[in-house]
Structure 1
Amino acid sequence: MPVTILRLACAWATVVAFLLFGDALLGRLGEPVMAALVFAWLLGVIIWAAFGVVHEAEVLAGRLGEPYGTLILTLSIVIIEVALISAVMLGAKGAPTLGRDTMFAVLMIVLNGVVGIGLLVGGLRHFAQSYNMKGASSYLAVIIPLTVIPLVLPNFTTSTAEGTLTVLQSVSFSVFTLALYGAFLVLQTGRHRSFFVEPTREQAPPVRSAPHGRAPDPDEIEIVEDDGHEDPGGSTWSHVLLLLATILPIVILAKSLAVVLDFGIARLGAPVALGGILIAMVVFTPECIAALRAISANQLQRAINLCLGAAASTLGLTVPAVLAIGLFTGQEVVLGLSGANMIILAMTLLLSTLTFTGTRTTMLEGAVHLSVFFVFLVLVFSP
């Protein structure tokens, strides 16, 4: 609890400081040392607060069970992401591809980077890991249309310039996206909740590592019960309030961080897509660490709920938000990916489908996903 209080005090003190002196601090970004200090200050506070969001969400996860726990975490993180994107779009008014770049970066980070590292770590520690195939398949069934329609289809429509949508298309796609994601949430927390919990021994018995690389015998099967975190006590509602109190300063500080990011990228002449990648990394780093911890504890289903849930939530909430900002402000919003990125996206979706259509995962799938992630990073700096 002392750490939680210190974290909240630091976050809200930073909010007060930028509300009172923000204009003066941001007005000195032309000074390299001052710009670096302001960036480090904001970035450190936001990431530390984001870890607080993860902590409170994990406490609620332990009390409410799956899939509510990971759902609370992913929705909290995506709210922060949408706030950052909105702050940049409303502040710079010249970032037509920011929403697209951020969503694509999130997909690459969670579906290739985190999944790749996680499956490698899980394979080393547990040989092969089991999960609930129905849950993973349900995620992918939602992620594929939520990805292809906003990020690929705009390149092939003829009513507007390549990569953009008409007003009718923007409104229709936003409604469709929200409706599909809403229906998924209803089913995930309702009649299909069992799809998103750890599989039973009969469904897919987990396998632990065997000595000398030998495939384990049935007698060596072991279930890992460790939930990965301790409950600090207190009422559930108190942790809900702490979660909201930790999210709010991140949302408020998002605008200031957006100004620094926009200035830094322009000054350094860095690739435009780097802004979206930085936002994705800042926002999703704590959640990615939570997913890797779950995999290390042999809780692959929780990690899948975090990774695939992050992808679905990002698409389901960011697309309508970005299109709404474009419609209300008159800004051009470019959603269609480049040709090379469409190929990387198609490969990612295909590999994810192959990876999560069995009952267990191994290190091989992790190595393949990680290689695609490295290709994505190379293309950012060398299109």
Structure 2
Amino acid sequence: MRSVLTRTAVLRLVLGWGFFAALLALAPLLDGHLPTPVLWLVLAAIVAVIVVCAFGVVTEAEHLAKRLGDPYGTLVLTLSIAAIEVILISAVMLGPGEHATIARDSVMAVSMIILNLVIGIALVVGGIRHPDRRANRTGVVGYLGVLVVLLAVAFAIPALLGAGGAYPPAVAIAVIVLVVLLYGFFLFRQLGARKADFQEVDAVPDAGDATPSSSVVRVLVAHRSELIARTLLLVALALPIVLLSHDMATLLDEGLGRLGAPVALSGILIAMIVFLPETITTVRAALGGEMQRVSNLCHGALVSTAGLTIPAVLTIGLLTGQTVVLAESPANLVLLALTLLLTAVTFAGHRVNPLHGAAHLVLFLLYGVVVFV
């Protein structure tokens, strides 16, 4: 327990839950019209606490990842991040005001941040430091195959089948079922027969494994107490994020409205807040020459985000009667298509190339230009 409940972990718990209690006590004062400087100060404090708690979630997920090994361990990390993203988007949708495009803007921002900004940085730093390293191409192709379908379902097909970029209710139900089945089958294959496709190319398989999951079973038996404690701590750190997300969404919507900022900026800020800890983890993996871990963290996180967000927001839309606009603009669709094409070229090579990383970064900057123009 001492190795799990460290001083830093306790401080994060106290900060997250203490700040939430303080907001509850001050709720009558915050419900009125706040001066703009006070609004941004409170919003900055909420975001800071969410980021601190998110780092705690990622830290515990990383410890679990080291115990369980890839792809099981990395999946814990990516699912934790994706779950936080879904929670924040859901909080915005269930909060006051109209947020018909928040899911589209957030998932699009996540796609551009992960596929271009994070991978671009990882390829530059990893390619310069470890020019002979490469990812497991079979695993990357598996990710891309699923991503092409999920992102098309999210951004392209709604423009063809729906009115105003939103799926009709009957089509939305079918999309929910199909996306859940595809994502479930992907996880089944990733954690089962195709586990080796998502490990480092020079990883030595354990010949003693009777089944693909036997090593994980041994870890669960040998480190049961630690794994349970870290899982409970992860949940305890994630709950303040859930509870604070509603206030963050309300204040962010109000603050951006006063600034006259683009609507899509809200989704971008949510994505950047959520994926900051995983960005740092990915860069560390690249510096260590773990290029397949880079792919697992980035591509796996995007598969989980799309695979969880699309069914979640469509379900909320059906239950609440809200319109969920998913269809993207032609400019963003072109950027997304270029990103997927560049990703396929990048990871098809025999080694990582910093030049490809620079190209990814340029695409991310072009996305920023499109958002503000």
TM-score norm. by structure 2 comes to 0.91
Quote the Cα distance in structure 1 between the aligned partners of 2:96 and 2:132.
47
Indicate the larger mover: 168-177 or 84-93: 84-93
1:177 aligns with 2:168: no
Corresponding residue to 1:7 among 7, 12, 37: 12
Asked if the contact 1:26/1:260 (under 8 Å) is kept, the reply is no
Aligned to 1:61: 65
Aligned to 2:247: 256
Quote the Cα distance in structure 2 between the aligned partners of 1:317 and 1:139.
15
Aligned to 1:338: 329
Offset, 1:379? 0.8
Corresponding residue to 1:376 among 364, 367, 371: 367
Corresponding residue to 1:136 among 120, 137, 140: 140
1:78 aligns with 2:82: yes
Matched AA of 2:9? T
Q: Deviations over 1:222-244 (max 9, x none)?
A: xxxxxxxxxxx971211111111
Q: Give the root-mean-square deviation of aligned CA atoms.
A: 1.6
Offset, 1:359? 3.6
Matched AA of 1:260? L
Corresponding residue to 2:122 among 112, 118, 121: 118
Aligned to 2:30: 25
Give the share of equivalent positions with the same residue, in percent: 47
Asked if the contact 1:114/1:288 (under 8 Å) is kept, the reply is yes
Asked if the contact 1:128/1:362 (under 8 Å) is kept, the reply is no
Quote the Cα distance in structure 2 between the aligned partners of 1:201 and 1:162.
49
Asked if the contact 1:100/1:337 (under 8 Å) is kept, the reply is yes
Quote the Cα distance in structure 2 between the aligned partners of 1:322 and 1:202.
41
Matched AA of 1:43? V
Match of 1:361, SS state, is coil
Aligned residues: 350
Matched AA of 1:169? V
Aligned to 1:272: 263
Indicate the larger mover: 236-245 or 160-169: 160-169
Indicate the larger mover: 352-361 or 99-108: 352-361
Q: Deviations over 1:48-86 (max 9, x none)?
A: 111111110110011000011111111111111111111
Offset, 1:92? 2.8
Matched AA of 1:27? G
Aligned to 1:200: 202
Offset, 1:20? 2.8
Q: For structure 2, which runs of at least 5 residues remain unmatched after alignment?
A: 1-5, 206-223
Offset, 1:23? 4.0
Quote the Cα distance in structure 1 between the aligned partners of 2:12 and 2:225.
18
Offset, 1:356? 1.8
Q: Deviations over 1:80-122 (max 9, x none)?
A: 1111111111113401111000000000000000111110111
Corresponding residue to 1:165 among 164, 167, 190: 167
Quote the Cα distance in structure 2 between the aligned partners of 1:28 and 1:301.
49
Quote the Cα distance in structure 2 between the aligned partners of 1:255 and 1:120.
37
Q: Deviations over 1:32-52 (max 9, x none)?
A: 221122111101000011111
Offset, 1:168? 1.0
Offset, 1:299? 1.0
Matched AA of 2:148? I
Quote the Cα distance in structure 1 between the aligned partners of 2:346 and 2:31.
46
Asked if the contact 2:102/2:267 (under 8 Å) is kept, the reply is yes
1:321 aligns with 2:316: no
1:290 aligns with 2:281: yes
Offset, 1:261? 0.7
Quote the Cα distance in structure 2 between the aligned partners of 1:26 and 1:84.
20
Cα distance 1:294–1:201, how it changes in 2: closer, same or farther (>3 A)? closer
Cα distance 1:27–1:78, how it changes in 2: closer, same or farther (>3 A)? farther
Cα distance 1:27–1:70, how it changes in 2: closer, same or farther (>3 A)? farther
Match of 2:323, SS state, is coil
Matched AA of 1:337? E
1:104 aligns with 2:108: yes
Q: For structure 1, which runs of at least 5 residues remain unmatched after alignment?
A: 204-232
Q: Deviations over 1:142-173 (max 9, x none)?
A: 1110001221011122xx42311111110101
Indicate the larger mover: 15-24 or 240-249: 15-24
Aligned to 1:16: 21
Q: Deviations over 1:3-35 (max 9, x none)?
A: 110011100111212233234224343x12211
Quote the Cα distance in structure 1 between the aligned partners of 2:202 and 2:21.
50
Offset, 1:357? 2.2
Corresponding residue to 1:146 among 143, 150, 154: 150
Aligned to 2:188: 186
Cα distance 1:23–1:147, how it changes in 2: closer, same or farther (>3 A)? farther
Quote the Cα distance in structure 1 between the aligned partners of 2:36 and 2:29.
15
